[in-house]
Structure 1
Amino acid sequence: MINRIFIKENLGFKEAKLEISKGLTVFTGLSGAGKSILFKGILSAFAISDSEAKIVELGLDDKLNLEEYGIESEEENIFKLLKEKNTKYFINNQSIAKKSLQNLSKSFIKYLSAKENNEFSNEKFLRILDALEIQNNPQFENFLSEFKEDFNNYTRLSEELNQILDEERKIEELKEVAKIQIEKIQSINPKIGEYEELLILKKKLSKKDKLDEAWQKASVIFDLEKIVIDALNLSEKDPTFFSECLNELRLILESQKIEDFDFDIEKILDRIENLSFLMKRYGSIENALEILKQKKQELEHYENLSFEKKELEKKFEKAKDKLEKSTKILTQTRINNLEKLQNCLNEYLKNLYMKDAILSLDESKVISSMGKDEINLNINFANLKKLSSGELNRLRLAFIATECKILGQGSGILFLDEIDANLSGKEAMSIAMVLDELSNFYQIFAISHLPQLSSRAHNHFLVQKKGDESFVKKLNQEERIKELARMVSGEKINEEAIEFAKTLFKS
């Protein structure tokens, strides 16, 4: 619920501060005073409408799912719009993108303007019909849960089957691609660590001639071995250390004699090039070997695709048959409750001086998570497009009231843009009675031109214009009577209008 509103520099309004209590809030005043400007200013903080306001700040005490948008929720959540060169939006002093704010706002705000017609979704009607069945048969809720699980299973199998059919259409191409990768990797037949070893060997081979020449010169020391040992013995020194040193030297020399092995430098270079190709393409030899394994599994999958397809088709048909049987049960329960929903809706329409609505149930060709049912709504055999804006607004209210009555719940904020425009007094009063009932579920904001609706307000604000500046003021009981009388008789208020205004509060 919005408990306070602050707007600054909004065209004619230099500043507007409003304290709001729950229930129905109406804005009245002469045409051109700034009611719509003020109204749009409030909506702009939710990114639902555009406004010229420099600052709009709203305080809400509702529990909102702000964490989903990375914002910490507080006891009072502050929605703020700041406009300089660009418009920026904040919740609890944390920035939020316009699109994210719009998505959040849709979860708790209903904005009914003459141009909108989003209340009568098929899903909403079906949920109400299902709620009626649950009231009589609580076990039906378990049936709905099982239906959703069956639908999810059906959808999953359908996707898997479509994937196989898609693969089947291009199976030869996929098999060829897998075979080429398998053959390429297998023809090279890489070994882990082989590339590094070959680089070391290549390095040795590149300096083979220099190594041979160096060791040939160094080998002279072995010819002097006996002479040195004899000298050490004559000097009465143990020659063991020298012998061990030469033995170590011989081992090193043996390890350098690569000419004793049959190495083909061209083959080694080709081998390094092939391994380098695999590493560039797959990142590493380990990855290449993993890809080889995967492609072999893919090829096996393609080879067995026909068998997999048959097994999946069996599962899919079984899931489809089960779902089809469930949709028939679902449809029948909704047909059984359709008249009850229609009667409830028509009760509100009758109070709103409108003709009866006719609800019918058609079967869709496609199964959805809600079944195969489609609701058709007609008023006196006319579709919604042929209704006037006033009729459409009253139909919206009747539907929202029906929804609240059957579900026993409803929450959020309802914005009504001139809901009583072009209506008679009795029609306006009928709307006021419905809004009074809805105010038990919703906080409601409305611009009103008629005293009947305004008389039911829990918060009544008068919007006035003095010169070029607009002002908004919350009215007390005496001021409200005067304003209702003005709405009845015009600028010149007479006693008859005042008495009529007083009777509105008593009715």
Structure 2
Amino acid sequence: MLAHLSIENYALIDSLKVGFDSGFTVITGETGAGKSILLGGLSLVLGNRADLSSLRNKEKKCIIEADFTIGDYNLKSFFSKADLDYEDVTVIRREILPSGKSRAFINDTPVTLDVLSKLGARLIDVHSQHQTLELTENDFQFKLIDAFANNSKHLIAYKEQLQRFRSAEKELQDLVTFQSNATKEQDYNSFLLTELEAAPLKEGIIAELEAQYEQLNNVELIMEELSKGAQLFNDEQVGVLSLMTEMRAAFSKLAGFGNQYEELHQRIQSAFIELDDINTELQDFQEGITSNPALLEEVSGKLQLLYNLQKKHGASQITELIQIKNDLADKVFETAHVDEKIALKTKELQELTSALEEQALLIREKRNSIIPNLKKQLESNLGSLGMPSASFDISLQATDSFKPNGMDELSFLFTANKGSNYGLLKKVASGGELSRIMLVIKSILAKYEKLPTIMFDEIDTGVSGEISNRMADIMKEMSGVMQVFSITHLPQVASKGNHHYKVYKTDTAERTETNMMKLSDEERVVELAQMLGGKELSDSALAHAKQLLN
């Protein structure tokens, strides 16, 4: 329920802080006092778009904050999905900055307007003339019937099944489209794959082949240089190893004359060992290298094949060719097995279809079973609201298609007069009749599902006398299971409230300001008397007001 509302710097409101209780709360005030401003401010915390023109002082930001007690609303999953901190008393704040930007917060966490509006719809139902038009919409009519039929669990199961059906349906269509396109390309893809599989594709292969090609292509030069190196190492007179042998012998004689000579001798010994090892490896190279024209041609062919494939597929790296080969392999495999996949997906779709039809039939049976009782309750309640001849013709027609809420078409027809033809609500019901029908429907819904706080905005416009009393009784009865607000001009309705607030304007030399106050018992008598007889309070008006309250 709405526990507290704070509005600052909005329209004619400078600063307003007001707390609310459970039960039936009525709000009254003269025309133009600012009741619509109060609703406008409340609508901002429910996710409506902000307007910079609503700032009272254009240089200050507007802040609207509302506290809601939500322990009974089963909203923990909503908060979890939205990544919000859940609190039994949740605070929603909306700020409109002088720059025109707006910000929204739920329990001090910034949120988007989409998240805010979704939460707001589950906290307060603001019933205005615009919302009355929802009564003429098929979705709302189904909502009424399904609430009455206790179809909630079945609809959840149906919608989950429908989601799986739509997903499988799309997957099947994608497979069929893939098959149609892939069959045309299968031969070409197979050719490309075979070509790539025949190539020596591995990471670093081009650098490896290019190095091998350079060696084979320059074998004579390599042999000549290796021979020259071997001669420089092994010449008996001036060969590197001969000279190093002499140097090693000379310094071995000095090793015993001090650590510095011993250290130098060891370094010469290490250099000799390294040079001797190089000489051995050089000789191995000489023995292993031979001219091989056939291998040169083979390596050249592999390189040319790889160069051509890179150019053909627009690849700059071998890794790209490997990926292209893998992708082609997947396509060829999928095309070869797509018939099998289509058969399996078709079978799955048939099973989902059967399950959906079964669930839809159960929903239809429950709907049909309650229509007579729903019709009776609607007509009985409307009779007490001055519409004794009101009659409904409600029926279901089965369809072959899966709709978001089943496999039914709903005909929801109405007539207010005996002997008149039934017609669509939006065509045959007046605005006043729609308001009374909506009030009756909301009162029925309140018995079958946990509705949020509801605020009726002058739903009693155009009625008076006993009908207004009965409308007030219905709202009072609803307040036994939910928090109910009624913005009203009728003293008969205002007298039935558990709590009575008055919206009023005060004028100063500089500006007009809207405010709101909770009335005491004595103040309620005066307010009702003024609603009955005008500003000039008469004894009869005061007596009538006391009678209404009693």
Query: Could you tell me which residue of structure 1 aligns to residue 435 of structure 2?
Result: 393
Per-residue Cα deviation, 1:8-43 (whole angstroms, up to 9, x for no partner): 122222211111111233321111111111221122
CA distance in 1, matches of 2:547, 2:191: 90
Task: Identify which of 75, 78, 82 aligns with 1:69.
Answer: 82
Alignment check: 8 A CA contact 1:352 1:431 kept: yes
Per-residue Cα deviation, 1:246-295 (whole angstroms, up to 9, x for no partner): 22222355667677773247535424425656654895455344324312
1:147/1:105 Cα in 2 relative to 1: closer, same or farther (>3 Å)?
closer
Query: Could you tell me which residue of structure 2 aligns to residue 270 of structure 1?
Result: 304
1:230/1:413 Cα in 2 relative to 1: closer, same or farther (>3 Å)?
closer
CA distance in 2, matches of 1:129, 1:447: 28
Task: Identify which of 43, 65, 68 aligns with 1:60.
Answer: 68
CA distance in 2, matches of 1:102, 1:142: 25
CA distance in 2, matches of 1:282, 1:344: 77
Alignment check: 8 A CA contact 2:394 2:411 kept: yes
1:184/1:494 Cα in 2 relative to 1: closer, same or farther (>3 Å)?
farther
Q: CA deviation at 1:177?
A: 6.4
Query: Could you tell me which residue of structure 2 aligns to residue 300 of structure 1?
Result: 336
- Which segment drifts farther, 65-74 or 247-256? 247-256
Query: Could you tell me which residue of structure 2 aligns to residue 456 of structure 1?
Result: 496
SS of the residue aligned with 2:134?
A: coil
Q: Report the residue type matching 1:353 in the other structure.
A: G
Q: Report the residue type matching 1:165 in the other structure.
A: V
Q: Report the residue type matching 1:273 in the other structure.
A: Y
CA distance in 2, matches of 1:71, 1:322: 36
- Which segment drifts farther, 110-119 or 396-405? 110-119
CA distance in 2, matches of 1:473, 1:145: 44
CA distance in 1, matches of 2:505, 2:394: 47
Alignment check: 8 A CA contact 1:356 1:379 kept: yes
2:545 is the alignment partner of 1:501? yes
CA distance in 2, matches of 1:241, 1:196: 30
Query: Could you tell me which residue of structure 2 aligns to residue 137 of structure 1?
Result: none
Q: Report the residue type matching 1:492 in the other structure.
A: E
CA distance in 2, matches of 1:49, 1:27: 25
Alignment check: 8 A CA contact 2:136 2:426 kept: no
Q: How does 1:173-322 map to 2 (within 5 A)?
A: 173-175=184-186, 178-179=189-190, 181-186=192-197, 188=199, 190-198=201-209, 200-201=211-212, 214-221=225-232, 223-224=234-235, 244-253=277-286, 262-264=295-297, 267=301, 269-274=303-308, 276=310, 280=316, 283-284=319-320, 286-302=322-338, 305=339, 308-310=341-343, 312-313=345-346, 316-317=349-350, 319-321=352-354
Query: Could you tell me which residue of structure 2 aligns to residue 78 of structure 1?
Result: 91
SS of the residue aligned with 1:449?
A: coil
Structure 1, unaligned stretches of length 5 or more? 135-139
Alignment check: 8 A CA contact 2:26 2:486 kept: yes
Query: Could you tell me which residue of structure 1 aligns to residue 413 of structure 2?
Result: 378
TM-score by length of structure 1 reads: 0.83
Q: How many residues align?
A: 496
Q: Report the residue type matching 2:485 in the other structure.
A: F
Q: How does 1:13-162 map to 2 (within 5 A)?
A: 13-48=13-48, 50=50, 52-53=54-55, 54-63=62-71, 64=75, 65-83=78-96, 84-85=98-99, 86-116=101-131, 117-118=133-134, 122=138, 126=142, 129=145, 151=162, 154-162=165-173
Structure of larger gyration radius = 2
Q: CA deviation at 1:480?
A: 0.9
Q: CA deviation at 1:483?
A: 0.7
Q: CA deviation at 1:330?
A: 4.0
- Which segment drifts farther, 479-488 or 434-443? 434-443
Per-residue Cα deviation, 1:71-102 (whole angstroms, up to 9, x for no partner): 32234322112222122222222222222211
- Which segment drifts farther, 17-26 or 215-224? 215-224
Q: CA deviation at 1:479?
A: 0.6
Task: Identify which of 430, 435, 445 aligns with 1:403.
Answer: 445
SS of the residue aligned with 1:262?
A: helix
Please tell me the root mean square deviation across aligned C-alpha atoms, in Å: 3.8
1:133/1:393 Cα in 2 relative to 1: closer, same or farther (>3 Å)?
closer
1:111/1:252 Cα in 2 relative to 1: closer, same or farther (>3 Å)?
farther
Percent identical across equivalent pairs? 23
2:513 is the alignment partner of 1:469? yes
Alignment check: 8 A CA contact 2:28 2:502 kept: yes
CA distance in 2, matches of 1:472, 1:145: 43
